């Protein structure tokens, strides 16, 4: 599907996860710049875990090399995982070549070459989590080049290398333009990536050394996570990691427990020719300089190392490739588009905000928003975490103890134990110390400790004099949930109120309406259970904005005797609870409603058994919602299209237009244009002027 | 008074400001007086001509609304096409456009577009919030 500049991304349709020559090729188009066809062959992307990853293919690679002429070049997992798209493409890197599109991490594509008559570096980027792509190209000479030869320390590399550096994006690049001659034999590509403090080294072996086979070069799996890397057995993959910082330990299959500082670590076994990479400690702490050499030639493959080559930032990326030095340093503002000399202006630099498309213009001065923005969410009410409820030691020293779990006391055990205490001996009725006995449908215990159950300072014990144990609850935490995203259907006003109604159901809280601007946004929520009374409060978010807050109750009280009943009541409760099958660790939610009825019966039994006027504590009514649905749901009700087709017919737009309400400069080709009271000046007669005004009231076709 | 005009054909819509003209033929015609420049009549010798549009006179463009033929004279009854005649005074002006084919905002409510009372409903299921109950006692 063609992608035009300014188009908003629909996560579910605009990006597809399947790799093929057509499905995920996405295009960026700029007036006079990159054209659809230019980019269609190059750019691949995929949506993984709500992040857009991009990669590249080089279309100009010879087709007779027996390889896929597509993104597989730079995506080894695609070849090794039965065609599945790699899960962490974002860390993949490659070498910037002339007339190739290159992908860097963080969803940035660069292109160097000539497109549409413009020669330069093109940068396409997706601002993190905003899903908008920008393209820019350097006209200010920030990209510069210099010529190198093998004798300067670039084995097999001669010609022009490119570098770029400014305060936002820093990297220096050496391209393997004419990779002939050495290195010979097996060749390693070494990537060192710094991801949150870990440096990664990955290596792969292409099978030979030729121009074509450099195209065959697979980038390493260094993008994989550390755990994956350790478990990976792919025989051409040797992923290593080292630490950076004070610990400065180098760890890995080939090099253990070394400190940074003029170290060499041959990555073997593998290539017959050893490869050495040097990490030189610059400041004795966390700045490391990378250099290396190939084989025994003593030719350091990287001698070109400027300030930006130093590994300074924890979020930086540093890649070194033996056949093509590649140093890449990107700081946290990597996402910021290059504005100077650019084509697009007006986007926000704030990564937490969405650019206002109405304010974005290209160099022609025209607004590039293809579709005016839909109703936007109100500002404010930014998501805040619900507090934990700390229980232990507070609220009048009430201890909440989870029972009936494996290894813990059951209600039956407790009743039996209490019945063994002789009231006349201990001088009090321990049942009075029970202030709650509840069944919760949702209780996310955040902190707890298992210990002996004590009531009024007395440890409850079983008939063998073993202490009964329960899980003393320290705190409970909110429960996060996801309802999904309500997708646009019509992509027009009918997706909003009063035409479309969005309702949400949250267990124990019921159905409620969501506002129209939730359309297209991911609906999530957080539910918090108040352990004291069983009420729940759910805060609903559309993206990061609070959209609703609803309440309900997810628990019910289980009645117990509040007056002195001795063994008699305890036995009755025990019997009743046994009847409703509560001896297990927990009771399945679908049975909770049944449990309510059973416990109600148990209460009656207790009441009937206590002839000395036992009263019951506990209200059953609040827990009635428990018998409802236990999933979160979203229901979207929309009017059906009158003609059975989703889109408003083009003929309708031509005959009647659609609401506009903008001040525009009238231009031929605008089509149907209706103006309430056109302001016409000229030397026409008054009647003609009136005819034109009347024409616009009807609508003229420009 | 004789003037030169061009008769032609157009298939453009009546409300089109820019019209494509074909089959242009130049004629020398006489103005029939009294002449209303918004609804003029021109006469020329001959019979019916295959045209529905006329340009040239008075710096304007006209629809040929009718032709009447009498004694070998064809009378072309015309009506001014105001928006095409003065398109130069229309294009380039800034106007507040209420409806537009190309620049409309599809998210603005369009009461003109019919909506059925027949609805469709879609339910999406999200997280399962609870599967098991937890039993808790509170003691002091």
Span A117-150, pLDDT tens digits? 444 444 443 333 323 333 334 444 444 454 544 4
User: Would you report the helix, strand and coil content of chain B in percent, each value rounded to 5?
Assistant: 10, 50, 40
pLDDT digits (tens, 9 = 90+) for A63-80: 333 322 233 333 222 223
Residue A29 is predicted with a pLDDT of: 25
Collapsed DSSP state (helix, strand, coil) of residue A477: coil
Given pLDDT bands bounded at 50, 70 and 90, which one contains residue A228?
very low
Contact A697, A674 (CB under 8 A): yes
Residue A350 is predicted with a pLDDT of: 44
pLDDT digits (tens, 9 = 90+) for A9-58: 343 443 322 222 222 222 222 223 333 333 333 333 333 322 233 333 33
**What residue has token string 């390693």?**
A188
Inter-chain contact A558–B135, Cβ cutoff 8 Å?
A: yes
pLDDT digits (tens, 9 = 90+) for A216-225: 222 222 222 2
Contact A130, A147 (CB under 8 A): no
- How large is the angle between the packed helices A411-419 and A566-579, nearest 10 degrees? 170
Spatial separation of the C-alpha atoms in residues A526 and A542, rounded to whole Å: 12
Chain centroid to CA A323: 34
Q: Which one of B35, B91, B97 would you mutate to disrupt binding with A, by most A Cβ within 10 Å of its Cβ?
A: B97
Inter-chain contact A638–B86, Cβ cutoff 8 Å?
A: no
Residue A173 is predicted with a pLDDT of: 25
Inter-chain contact A435–B114, Cβ cutoff 8 Å?
A: no
The answer to whether B1 faces chain A, any CB pair under 8 Å, is no
The answer to whether B14 faces chain A, any CB pair under 8 Å, is no
Inter-chain contact B93–A666, Cβ cutoff 8 Å?
A: yes
Quick one: which of A433, A439, A402, A399 has its CA closest to A600?
A439
Of A279 and A649, more confident: A649
Q: Which residue of B has its CA nearest to A471?
A: B136
Q: Which two tokens stand for residue A548?
A: 């609703």
CA angle, A471 then A475 then A476, to 5°: 100
**Cα A658 to Cα A685, B15, B104, B111, distances in angstroms:** 31, 17, 5, 10
pLDDT digits (tens, 9 = 90+) for B35-45: 899 999 999 99
Residues in chain A: 702
Residue A691 is predicted with a pLDDT of: 92
Given pLDDT bands bounded at 50, 70 and 90, which one contains residue A560?
low
pLDDT > 70? residue B101:
yes
Which residue(s) pair with A75 in the sheet?
none
pLDDT > 50? residue A467:
yes
Smallest Cβ–Cβ distance between B89 and the set A523, A675, A681 belongs to: A681
The answer to whether A575 faces chain B, any CB pair under 8 Å, is no
Residue B130 is predicted with a pLDDT of: 77
Around A595, how many Cα atoms within 13 Å sit in the side-chain half-sphere? 29
For chain A, give the mean pLDDT.
51
Of A40 and A661, more confident: A661
Q: Model ipTM?
A: 0.91
What pTM, to 2 d.p., does this model score?
Answer: 0.49
Out of A193-197, A266-270, A365-369, B18-22, least confident range: A193-197
Smallest Cβ–Cβ distance between A676 and the set B98, B121, B140 belongs to: B98
User: What average pLDDT does range A471-478 have in this prediction?
Assistant: 86
Residue B8 is predicted with a pLDDT of: 94
Smallest Cβ–Cβ distance between A699 and the set B38, B99, B135 belongs to: B99
Given pLDDT bands bounded at 50, 70 and 90, which one contains residue A619?
very low
The answer to whether A3 faces chain B, any CB pair under 8 Å, is no
Spatial separation of the C-alpha atoms in residues A118 and A96, rounded to whole Å: 18
Which residue(s) pair with A330 in the sheet?
A169
Set of chain A residues whose Cβ sits within 8 Å of the Cβ of B130: 441-442, 507, 554, 589, 630
Residue-wise burial string across A307-344, b where 16 or more C-beta atoms lie within 10 A, e elsewhere: ebbbbbbeebbbbbbbbbbbbbbbbeebbbbbeeebbb
Quick one: which of A370, A498, A502 has its CA closest to A14?
A370
pLDDT digits (tens, 9 = 90+) for B18-73: 999 999 999 999 999 898 999 999 999 988 999 999 998 888 999 999 999 988 89
Q: Which two tokens stand for residue A253?
A: 């299959």
The answer to whether B50 faces chain A, any CB pair under 8 Å, is no
Smallest Cβ–Cβ distance between B109 and the set A439, A493, A701 belongs to: A493
Residue A566 is predicted with a pLDDT of: 44
Q: How many CB atoms lie within 10 A of CB A400?
A: 25
Given pLDDT bands bounded at 50, 70 and 90, which one contains residue A397?
low
The answer to whether B71 faces chain A, any CB pair under 8 Å, is no
Set of chain B residues whose Cβ sits within 8 Å of the Cβ of A672: 99-101
pLDDT digits (tens, 9 = 90+) for A428-455: 677 777 777 888 888 888 888 888 888 8
Residue-wise burial string across A159-186, b where 16 or more C-beta atoms lie within 10 A, e elsewhere: bebbbbbeebbbbbbbbbbebeebbeeb
Q: Which residue of A has its CA nearest to B121?
A: A637
Given pLDDT bands bounded at 50, 70 and 90, which one contains residue B131?
low
Q: Which residue of B has its CA nearest to A457?
A: B140
Quick one: which of A534, A531, A523, A516 has its CA closest to A480?
A523
Q: Which residue of B has its CA nearest to A414?
A: B137
User: In chain A, which among 184-223 make CB contacts under 8 A with chain B?
Assistant: none
Smallest Cβ–Cβ distance between A664 and the set B90, B97, B116 belongs to: B97
pLDDT digits (tens, 9 = 90+) for A522-537: 899 998 888 888 888 8
Spatial separation of the C-alpha atoms in residues A682 and A689, rounded to whole Å: 8
């Amino acid at each position: 599907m063609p992608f035009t500049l300014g188009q908003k991304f629909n996560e579910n349709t605009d990006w597809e996860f399947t790799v093929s020559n057509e499905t995920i090729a996405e295009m960026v188009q700029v007036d006079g710049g990159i054209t659809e066809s230019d980019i269609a062959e190059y750019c691949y992307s995929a949506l993984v875990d709500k992040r857009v990853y991009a990669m590249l293919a080089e279309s100009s690679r010879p087709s007779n090399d027996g390889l896929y002429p597509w993104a597989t070049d730079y995506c080894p997992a695609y070849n090794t995982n039965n065609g599945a798209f790699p899960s962490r493409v974002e860390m993949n890197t490659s070498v910037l070549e002339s007339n190739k599109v290159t992908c860097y991490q963080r969803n940035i594509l660069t292109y160097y070459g000539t497109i549409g008559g413009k020669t330069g570096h093109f940068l396409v980027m997706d601002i993190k989590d905003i899903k908008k792509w920008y393209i820019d190209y350097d006209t200010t000479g920030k990209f510069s080049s210099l010529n190198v030869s093998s004798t300067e320390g670039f084995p097999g590399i001669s010609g022009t290398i490119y570098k770029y550096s400014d305060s936002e994006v820093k990297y220096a690049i050496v391209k393997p333009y004419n990779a002939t001659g050495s290195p010979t034999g097996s060749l390693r590509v070494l990537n060192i990536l710094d991801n949150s403090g870990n440096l990664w080294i990955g290596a792969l072996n292409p099978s030979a050394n030729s121009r074509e086979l450099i195209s065959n070069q697979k980038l390493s799996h260094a993008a994989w996570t550390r755990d994956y890397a350790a478990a990976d057995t792919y025989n051409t993959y040797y992923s290593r990691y080292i630490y950076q910082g004070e610990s400065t330990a180098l760890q890995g299959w080939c090099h253990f427990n070394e400190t940074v500082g003029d170290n060499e670590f041959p990555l073997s076994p593998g290539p017959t020719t050893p490869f050495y990479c040097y990490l030189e400690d610059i400041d004795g702490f966390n700045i490391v300089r990378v250099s290396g050499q190939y084989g025994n030639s003593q030719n350091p493959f990287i001698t070109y190392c400027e300030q930006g080559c130093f590994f300074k930032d924890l979020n930086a990326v540093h890649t070194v490739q033996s056949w093509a030095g590649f140093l890449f340093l990107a700081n946290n503002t990597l996402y910021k588009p290059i504005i100077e000399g650019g084509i697009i202006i007006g986007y926000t630099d704030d990564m937490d905000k969405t650019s206002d498309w109405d304010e974005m213009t290209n160099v022609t001065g025209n607004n590039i928003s293809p579709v005016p923005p839909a109703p936007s969410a109100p500002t404010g009410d930014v998501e805040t975490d619900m507090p934990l409820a700390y229980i232990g030691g507070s609220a009048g020293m009430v201890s909440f103890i989870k029972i009936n779990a494996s290894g813990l006391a059951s209600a039956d055990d407790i009743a039996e134990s209490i019945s063994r205490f002789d009231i006349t001996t201990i001088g009090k009725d321990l049942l009075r110390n029970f202030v709650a006995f509840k069944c919760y449908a949702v209780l996310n215990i955040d902190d707890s400790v298992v210990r002996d159950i004590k009531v009024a300072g007395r440890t409850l014990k079983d008939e063998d004099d073993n202490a009964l144990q329960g899980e003393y609850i320290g705190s409970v935490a909110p429960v996060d949930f996801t309802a999904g995203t309500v997708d646009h259907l019509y992509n027009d006003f009918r997706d909003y109120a009063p035409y479309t109604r969005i309702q949400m159901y949250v267990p124990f809280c019921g159905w409620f309406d969501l506002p129209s601007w939730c359309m297209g946004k991911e609906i999530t929520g957080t539910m918090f259970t108040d352990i004291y009374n069983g009420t729940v409060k759910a805060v609903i978010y559309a993206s990061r904005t609070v959209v609703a807050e609803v309440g309900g109750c997810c628990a019910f009280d289980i009645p117990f005797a509040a007056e002195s009943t001795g063994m008699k009541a305890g036995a009755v409760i025990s019997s009743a609870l046994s009847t409703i099958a509560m001896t297990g660790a927990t009771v399945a939610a679908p049975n909770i409603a049944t449990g309510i009825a059973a416990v109600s019966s148990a209460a009656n039994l207790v009441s009937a058994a206590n002839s000395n006027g036992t009263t019951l504590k506990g209200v059953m009514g609040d827990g009635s919602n428990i018998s409802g649905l236990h999933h979160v749901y979203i229901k979207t009700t929309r009017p059906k299209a009158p003609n059975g087709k989703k889109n408003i017919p083009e003929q309708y737009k031509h005959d009647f237009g659609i609401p506009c309400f903008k001040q525009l400069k009238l231009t031929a080709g605008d089509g149907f244009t209706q103006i309430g009271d056109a302001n016409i000046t000229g030397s026409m007669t008054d009647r003609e002027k009136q005819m034109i005004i009347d024409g616009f009231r009807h609508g003229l076709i420009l | 008074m004789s003037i030169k005009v061009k008769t032609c054909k157009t298939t453009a819509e009546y409300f089109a400001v820019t019209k494509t003209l074909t089959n242009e033929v130049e004629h020398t015609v006489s103005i029939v007086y009294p002449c209303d420049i918004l609804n003029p009549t021109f006469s020329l010798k001959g019979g019916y001509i295959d045209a529905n549009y006329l340009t040239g006179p008075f710096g304007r463009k006209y629809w040929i609304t009718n032709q009447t033929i009498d004694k070998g004279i064809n009378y072309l009854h015309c009506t001014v096409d105001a928006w095409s005649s003065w398109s130069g005074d229309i294009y380039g002006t800034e106007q507040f456009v209420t409806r537009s084919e190309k620049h409309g905002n599809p998210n603005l409510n369009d009461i003109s577009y019919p909506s059925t009372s027949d609805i469709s409903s879609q339910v999406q299921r999200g997280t399962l919030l609870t599967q098991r109950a937890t039993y808790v006692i509170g003691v002091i």
